[in-house]
């Protein structure tokens, strides 16, 4: 059985399946008043109806893909949600115990599961996984944030999950983890970005229900083609072994060239730097031959708690990066919490559209004390290496000026305290909101560089949520609007004498390198793992040809045609490096 999803992180993993559908913690419990009973019951009905609809949709999809046999799984799930005995038990519990609907449902289901687990029949015992699955789906429809409860097996394994949040992925014990596959997810979610940083082969957005796969089923994750293969035949395994060794050979060859200059055949220099989320990635940055860190995503410091570490701890972290990467530059991006990433503090009301909400610089500007800690830490660390700072999700000049002012205040304070820092610390702005790209000429006089965050720039330009698999097909890096915005940004930057880089995932997509370089992008910041490959890509290109390609692309009307155009150059110049 082969499932195809989105190739989220390259590599081949072979091993037994471990499913983490099970073992989730209880939702929050609170007391309700008698008048609330009707409303709570209505919430329960709504969550059940929503789940049934999702299951029906899944069933229809599966039927159209692979016939009736598999879709019976969902029929059983739907039947469970139509079990009057169970439904009325929840209704009763809400009224008699005066508990919130999600908790009442959870408690009833736990009792039911307990009873099931005691049944000696192994077939029925197996069905508990289905019930747990339904239970989780209903809880998700209540918008309960299910805690990740991932007990690491002691043996190596491939993880299957409904979905993984970036914090799940970041906090997993990776010692025994060979790879993972999820039903949900998309290529530019932070979960996928982390998988690539960690070098864990991953497939996301399978769209099919895989969390009922029996534990220990032998499987292969093909992170190049986005496949999950269950019970692979010996021939399939041999094929993957050959592919893995071919990729390994290529990697060794590329590693050997990592110190060569990153300039095109006709002598045009491009800075190639690395994106990092964690200090542990620093050794990989050095190993890769990257020229510094082009994006340090500091929001991952939130992983150890729900608050940013204090000024001293942050100073220590940034100093460590700066010292290790010296004499090259590190660009510290100020906190970019929110969206699909870790929240900086729990909001009283969940946001209906988190990507359009409280994230990036908006959070920092509304939490001056927290912002001050971070800026002071960056400044203090700048005394020990070469550091720049940049601000995420800036949508216009006023936010940029407010951020700059906050930085200036911190500089004045440190001056008064006699604390040394780099007074010429370069300041950049991320261009990742279309309004910022369109107004790049207005922003340029106030910064030392632009770094284009294409992951967000694409999602906001074409109005496609970067983590929503339902609209993933519309997420097109080569959309003419995206290409034009990148071109416009570079142009505004060069008119004002500042450089423009790209630190979004487009920078590491080697099909697009001819186009980006041709558009005049001077720096590419990519996952450390692929630095050697992108370096070789740059060395294989001809700048004059890239410029001609970009010029033509800017006149084209369709994303597919633009992709074909840049891909043709990539195929001509480095066919062996394309996956």
Size of the site for ligand PEP (CB under 6 A): 10
For residue 357, the Cα-to-chain-centroid distance in whole angstroms is 18
Who contacts 341 (Cβ-Cβ below 8 Å, separation ≥6)? 166, 190, 299, 359
Q: How far is the CB of 504 from Mg ion (least distance, A)?
A: 7
Among 134, 228, 503, 526, binds ligand PEP (CB under 6 A): 503
The answer to whether 181 and 169 are in contact (CB under 8 A) is no
578 neighbors 571 (Cβ within 8 angstroms): yes
Point out the catalytic residue in the list 190, 384, 479, 546: 190
Q: Are 45 and 255 in contact (CB under 8 A)?
A: no
Q: Are 514 and 545 in contact (CB under 8 A)?
A: yes
**Are 388 and 427 a contacting pair, CB within 8 Å?**
yes
Q: With binding defined as CB under 5 A, does residue 102 bind Mg ion? A: no
Q: How far is the CB of 393 from Mg ion (least distance, A)?
A: 7
End-to-end C-alpha distance for the chain, whole angstroms: 23
Name the one range near Mg ion by CB under 5 A: 288-296, 407-415, 431-439, 512-520.
431-439
Q: How far is the CB of 186 from ligand PEP (least distance, A)?
A: 12
Residue 437 Cβ vs ligand PEP, minimum distance, rounded to whole Å: 12
- x/- track of binding to ligand PEP for residues 285-304 (CB under 6 A): ----------x-x-------
Number of residues that bind Mg ion (CB under 5 A): 3
Q: Which residues pair with 560 in a beta bridge?
A: none
Compute CA distances 389 → 34, 163, 296, 335, 448, whole Å. 54, 33, 9, 11, 10
Binding residue (CB under 6 A) for ligand PEP from 141, 192, 314, 454: 454
Q: Which of 40, 168, 340, 456 binds Mg ion (CB under 5 A)?
A: 456
Contact in structure between 359 and 335 (CB atoms under 8 Å): no
Question: Whole-angstrom Cα distance, residue 453 to residue 354?
Answer: 17
Residue 504: CB minimum distance to ligand PEP, A: 3
CA–CA separation, 565 and 147 (whole Å): 45
DSSP 67: -
Q: At what angle do helices 454-461 and 480-495 cross, to 10 degrees?
A: 130
Instruction: Considering only the stretches 31-39, 178-186, 305-313, 425-433, report the one whose residues sit in contact with Mg ion under the rule CB under 5 A.
Output: 425-433
Strands 202-204 and 177-182: parallel
Binding mask 304-343 for ligand PEP (x = CB under 6 A): --------------------------------x-------
CB closer to Mg ion out of 308 and 433: 433
Listed ranges 178-186, 206-214, 263-271, 454-462: which one lies at the site for ligand PEP (CB under 6 A):
454-462
Could you say whether residue 453 binds ligand PEP (CB under 6 A)? yes
Residue 432 binds ligand PEP (CB under 6 A): yes
Separation of alpha carbons 284 and 32, rounded Å: 52
Name the segment binding Mg ion (CB under 5 A); options: 94-102, 200-208, 317-325, 455-463.
Answer: 455-463
Known catalytic membership, residue 503? yes
Active site residues: 190, 503
Chain contacts with ligand PEP (rule: CB under 6 A): 295, 297, 336, 432, 453-456, 503-504
Chain contacts with Mg ion (rule: CB under 5 A): 432, 453, 456
């Amino acid at each position: 059985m082969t499932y195809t999803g989105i190739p989220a992180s390259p590599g081949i993993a072979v091993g037994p399946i471990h499913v983490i559908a099970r073992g989730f913690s209880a939702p929050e419990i609170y007391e309700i008043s008698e008048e609330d009973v009707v409303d709570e019951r209505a919430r329960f009905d709504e969550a059940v109806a929503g789940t049934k609809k999702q299951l029906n949709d899944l069933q229809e999809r599966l039927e159209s893909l692979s016939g009736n046999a598999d879709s019976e799984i969902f029929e059983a799930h739907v039947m469970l949600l139509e079990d009057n005995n169970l439904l009325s038990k929840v209704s009763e519990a809400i009224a008699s115990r005066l508990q919130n609907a999600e908790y009442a449902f959870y408690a009833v289901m736990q009792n039911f599961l307990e009873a099931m687990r005691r049944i000696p029949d192994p077939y029925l015992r197996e069905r508990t996984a289905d019930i747990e699955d339904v239970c989780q789906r209903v809880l998700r429809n209540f918008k309960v944030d299910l805690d990740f409860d991932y007990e690491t097996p002691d043996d190596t394994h491939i993880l299957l999950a409904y979905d993984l949040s970036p914090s799940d992925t970041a906090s997993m014990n990776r010692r025994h983890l060979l790879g993972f596959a999820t039903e949900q997810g998309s290529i530019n979610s932070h979960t996928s970005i982390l998988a690539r940083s960690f070098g864990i082969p991953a497939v996301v957005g399978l769209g099919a229900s895989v969390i009922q796969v029996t534990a220990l089923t032998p499987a292969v994750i093909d992170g190049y083609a986005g496949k999950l293969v269950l019970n692979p035949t010996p021939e399939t395994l041999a094929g993957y072994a050959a592919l893995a060794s071919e990729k390994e050979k290529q990697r060794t060859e590329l590693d050997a060239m990592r110190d060569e200059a990153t300039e095109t055949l006709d002598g045009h220099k491009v800075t190639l730097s690395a994106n990092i989320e964690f200090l542990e990635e620093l050794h990989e940055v050095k190993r890769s031959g990257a020229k510094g860190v082009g994006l340090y995503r500091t929001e991952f410091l939130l992983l150890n708690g729900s608050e940013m570490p204090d000024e001293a701890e942050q100073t220590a972290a940034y100093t460590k990066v700066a010292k290790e990467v010296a004499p090259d530059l590190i660009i510290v991006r100020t906190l970019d919490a929110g969206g699909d990433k870790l929240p900086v503090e729990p909001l009283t009301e969940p946001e209906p559209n988190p990507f359009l909400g409280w994230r990036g610089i908006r959070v920092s500007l509304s939490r001056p004390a927290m912002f001050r800690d971070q800026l002071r830490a960056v400044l203090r660390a700048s005394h020990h290496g070469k550091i720049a700072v940049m601000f995420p999700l800036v949508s216009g000049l006023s936010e940029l000026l407010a951020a700059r002012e906050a930085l200036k205040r911190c500089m004045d304070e440190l001056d008064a305290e006699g604390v040394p820092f780099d007074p010429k610390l370069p300041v950049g702005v991320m261009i990742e909101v279309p309004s910022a790209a369109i107004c790049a000429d207005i922003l340029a006089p106030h910064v030392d560089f632009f770094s284009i965050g294409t992951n967000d720039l694409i999602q906001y330009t074409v109005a496609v949520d970067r983590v929503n698999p339902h609209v993933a097909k519309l997420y097109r890096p080569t959309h003419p609007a995206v290409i034009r915005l990148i071109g416009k940004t570079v142009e505004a930057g060069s008119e004002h004498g500042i450089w423009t880089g790209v630190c979004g995932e487009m920078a590491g997509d080697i099909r697009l390198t001819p186009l980006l370089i041709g558009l005049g992008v001077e720096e590419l910041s990519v996952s450390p793992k692929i630095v050697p490959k992108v370096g070789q890509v740059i060395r294989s290109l001809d700048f004059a040809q890239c410029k001609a390609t970009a010029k033509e692309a800017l006149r084209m009307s369709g994303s597919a045609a633009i992709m074909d155009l840049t891909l043709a150059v990539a195929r001509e110049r480095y066919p062996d490096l394309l996956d």
